[in-house]
Amino acid sequence: MTELAARGVPGRRVLGVVVTYHPEPGKLLPLLDALAAQVESLVLIDNTPGVGGAAEILEPLARAMPGLRLQSMGENIGIAAAQNVGIRIALDEGFDYVLLSDQDSLPGEHMVSALLGCCEQLQTKVRVGCICPEYFDRTTGQSFPFQVQRLGKWFYGSAPGAEAKPWIEIITTISSGTLLPRAALQIVGPMREDFFIDHVDTEWCHRARALGFRNFGTSQARLTHELGDAPFRVWYFGWRGHSEYSPTRLYYRFRNFLLLVRLPHVPWRWTMRAGWYWLGNAYAHCLFARHSRANLRAIALGLWDGLRRRSGKLQRSL
C-alpha cells in the first residue's frame, strides 16, 4: 500500500477526509491507495453503527497505513456531521485545504495536484469557494456535466468537460472529490448537519456564492464516482439511462430539497429549474424503477416532512 505523501508542497497542505458507511474493501482500498499518494494526510470517518463489521476492515488498515487516522463514530451521524469532524481537524491542525471523498469514489492520477494548481491560479483573481473534478458515473458509464449559469440564459444549464479547460465557473457540485480552501471554510462555515445526507453539498455551494465566493470545476482533474445504486431505463421521448436510488435515499433527497429551497441564499431561478429536475426524478423512480411503490411512499413522506420542516435522521423504516 502506498505511503501518504508526507513530502507535500509547502503552503499547500491537503487533508483528505473520507467518510465511510459499511465500506466494501474492494472499493475502499483502491480509493485510499490513490488518495494516499496525493495528499499530505488522510482521516477516515466511519459512520458504520456498532462494533465489528467495518472495524475488522478499517482498524488493520489504519495500522498498515502510516498517517491514516481512523475516527469510528459508532453510529450513523450523517455525512454532513462526519465531514465536519474532518473539517474541524483540518482547521485545528492548520491544513490549507480539505479534500472530501465518499467511499465509492476513485480519483484519477494527479487529481489533487490538478485541483490545487487550478485553485491557486484562481485565488489570485477571485475568492474560491470550492473546485471539483470532472465526474464519471461508474453506474451508467457517463460523464457528469458541470452545472453552470449561461450568460443571457434565465435558468442554469449543463456544460460538458470540454468546456472546463482549464476550468469553468459552476453553481453547485457534489462533495466527493471537491477541494475546499481553508479561507472559504472559515467564512462559509461547516456542512449543515440537520440535512443528514443529500443536498448537503448543494446547500454549502449556495451559501458560499451568497457570501461572495465562486465555485469552479475543471476537466484537468478526473474522478470516477457511483451516482446511485444501479442503472435503469426511463422513457422520456425515447429511452434514456438513469441512476436508481433506494427509497431511503429518495426520502432524504426530496425532503431536503424542500428544506433547501426555503433558505434565503438559494436563488429562486435555481429553485424553479431544479424543481423540474426533481419532478423528472420522481417520474423515473415511481414508474420505471424496480421498487416503484416503495419509491412513491418514500418520496411522498419526504415531501410531507419537508413541508413540515422536519430535518435530521429519519427515525422510521421505509
Can you give the pLDDT at residue 1? 47
Task: Give the C-alpha separation, 154 to 157, whole Å.
Answer: 9
Mean pLDDT of 150-155: 93
Cα separation of 131 and 217, whole Å? 5
In this predicted structure, what is the pLDDT of residue 51? 67
Taking each continuous run of H as one helix and of E as one strand, the counts in the chain are 9, 14
Q: Give the span between the Cα atoms of 151 and 274, in whole angstroms.
A: 18
Query: Concatenated DSSP letters for 117-180?
Result: HHHHHHTTTS-EEEEEEEEEETTT--EEPEEE--TT-SS-EEE-GGG-SS-EEES---STT-EE
Q: Which region among 38-42, 62-66, 68-72, 125-129 has the lowest average model confidence (pLDDT)? A: 62-66
pLDDT digits (tens, 9 = 90+) for 199-240: 999 999 999 999 999 999 999 999 998 877 788 899 988 898
Mean pLDDT estimate for the chain: 92
Q: Which helix (DSSP H) or strand (DSSP E) does residue 100 occupy?
A: strand 97-102
For the segment(s) 14-225, the CATH number from 3.40.50.2300, 3.90.550.10, 3.30.9.10, 3.30.420.40 is 3.90.550.10
Q: Is 299 exposed, middle or buried (0-12, 13-18, 19+ CB in 10 A)?
A: buried
Give the confidence band of 121 by pLDDT, cuts at 50, 70, 90: very high
Find out whether 41 and 51 touch, Cβ atoms under 8 Å.
Answer: no
pTM over 0.85: yes
Query: 256 with 306: CB under 8 angstroms?
Result: yes
Residue ranges, comma separated, of all CATH 3.90.550.10 domains in the chain are 14-225
Going from the C-alpha of 41 to that of each of 3, 89, 103, 171, the distances in angstroms are: 10, 11, 16, 29
**C-alpha to C-alpha distance for 243 and 228, rounded to whole angstroms:** 5
Amino acid identity of residue 317, one-letter, is S
Residue 114, all three cell numbers: 490538478
